[in-house]
Structure 1
Amino acid sequence: MSYLMDAPRSVEPMIRVLREMGKYRYDPSEVFRDWIDYAIACFLVEGDKELAQRLEKKYEKTYPKMQELLLAWFKVMDQRVTDSPTSWFDALGTIYEYLASQSKRSWMGQFFTPPDLCDLMTQLTSDSKERPVGKRVNDPASGSGRLLLSFNAFNPGNFLFAEDLDAICAKMSALNMAIHGCQGQVCCLDSIALDKWWFGYQINYFHQFGIPPIPHLQPITKEQSETMQHWERRRQKLEVKAEIKPKEPVSKSIIEPIQTEVRAGQLSLF
């Protein structure tokens, strides 16, 4: 049976569950997207009963496989994230990329920065003598959150902020940051125009109070997003400067056009 047999070995426990779901004629890409929502609900402090009921109705007898897939993710993370202080692993992005290469669905088609390149970029931008602590670090196009996971592995103790226009990518970033013990926020918004907002999560908020480091998420509103607050303050400052700045006089001088002469013959660079 060739179904999902060429998937990356690093996420085999998760692929095995998706393969079993395929026996019931469920599309693995759709199952993965629904499972991302399921995992988000499991990490929410107050849960999401409506989502659980909807998924249970959709998958019926195979609904327990959602929990199996969650446990398989935990198993993969336990195997891949070692005792090394700079160890991290993006199982979600790995599966997403594989399924995207197999699927023709329009909502799948992104490929993320390779892990080794993420680590290289982190080390090139970090000060080896004095590690940053308590700083705010932002990735406005986070994908599955790899750059921030790498930065957190090499520079723990900072506040990380991720944004992505794609909903499933924002959710993967939130899950990845939560399970790696990061603190910060993840938002699904338009990072360029900043005129579109969909949802956001606070990541591991209670860790700062010494509560046991259990991964957790809390929904936030647009007004609670520190990214949106930051840009709103910037916008107001720019508007104030625009009002104070005196208008420049309009020059009445006419700029003479550059005279050119076309000659036939050989082109010379000298």
Structure 2
Amino acid sequence: MNQLKRFSQYILQIAYKYGLNSVFDDFLEMTVCALSLGAKEDRYHEIVRNYEKPDAYLMAEAFGALVLEMDNKQTGLKDGFGDFYMEYISHGHNWQFFTPEPVCEMMARMLNPAGFGERVADCCCGSGRMLLAAAKIKRDCLFFGADIDRTCTMMCVINLCLTGLLGEVCWMDTLAHRFYSGWRIELHPEHGVPYVREITEAESYMVLRIPEKKLEPVDNPKSSLGAGQQLLFEF
């Protein structure tokens, strides 16, 4: 049995009692809390208290299966969530059909055949497949994602952090420039490993600040985050 099927079985088994959507969202948030290295411990315990002990253990088993799935036979950079999400959660609602991973890789190479600069952004990131595809070309970039669906942003945060990619993911409406919440994936100052830190709107690079940025020069795309640049795949 492959690890994605094993992950699906664990989540579906818990869902019989609690409901699939709530179980999946709780699993994602608990994982984000765990990747915050203690900063969100209270929130983690608040969520896990809603589950009986055997079901909480199944959550841990699901996480283990997810990590093995994303290991991808030691090649990494694999979306651990997208196929499960489309099959069991979204069912195509709001046209949420994620681009197949091989197509993402082809698009990344077509858009940037010579390699990426320092930053890569996807303003409708879903589970983060396009960012993972970009990382296969150059993984030492900073990766930025945003999506209007909170579940998608949490999937993207986990995908980036567990594959050792640094950057930022925001739950926001990129067209209306409305920010709801965001996370930064960065190296922990003490332990030196990637971890997740919740950020405010003022800290976010993905939020368009047109009044603040409009007078700044944008000739050098690496010198500033001009309004027009932030909606491009590379900026």
The TM-score bracket by the shorter chain reads 0.7 to 0.9
Q: How does 1:47-126 map to 2 (within 5 A)?
A: 47-61=39-53, 62-78=55-71, 80-83=72-75, 88-100=77-89, 110-126=96-112
Shift in alpha-carbon separation, 1:229–1:46, aligned structure 2, 3 A: farther
Structure with the largest fraction of strand: 2
Cα distance between partner residues in 1 of 2:125 and 2:73: 20
CA radius of gyration, larger in: 1
- 8 Å contact kept, 2:3–2:66: no
195, 199, 221: which one aligns with 2:181: 199
- After superposition, the C-alpha distances for 1:143-187 in whole angstroms (9 at most, x for unaligned) are 111101100111121111111111111111111111111111111
- Deviation track 1:201-237 (CA, whole Å, cap 9, x = no partner) reads 111334xx7965x341011111111122654533566
Match for residue 25 of structure 2 among 15, 29, 33:
33
Query: SS where residue 16 of structure 1 aligns?
Result: helix
Residue in structure 2 matching 1:219, options 194, 198, 201: 198
Alignment of 1:115-194 (within 5 A): 115-128=101-114, 131-133=115-117, 135-194=118-177
State the TM-score, normalized to the length of structure 2: 0.80
| Count of residue pairs the alignment pairs up | 216
Runs (4+) off by over 4 Å: 209-212, 229-232
SS at structure 1 position matched to 2:120: strand
Determine which structure has greater relative contact order: mean sequence separation of CA pairs < 8 Å that are 6+ residues apart, divided by chain length: 2
CA contact (8 A) 1:182 1:203 kept: yes
Give ranges in structure 1 of 5+ residues lacking alignment. 1-7, 238-270
Q: State the alpha-carbon separation in 1 of the partners of residues 99 and 211 from structure 2.
A: 30
* Structure 2 residue matching 1:227: 3-state secondary structure: coil
TM-score when normalising by structure 1: 0.71
**Identity rate, percent:** 24
Shift of 1:102: 5.7
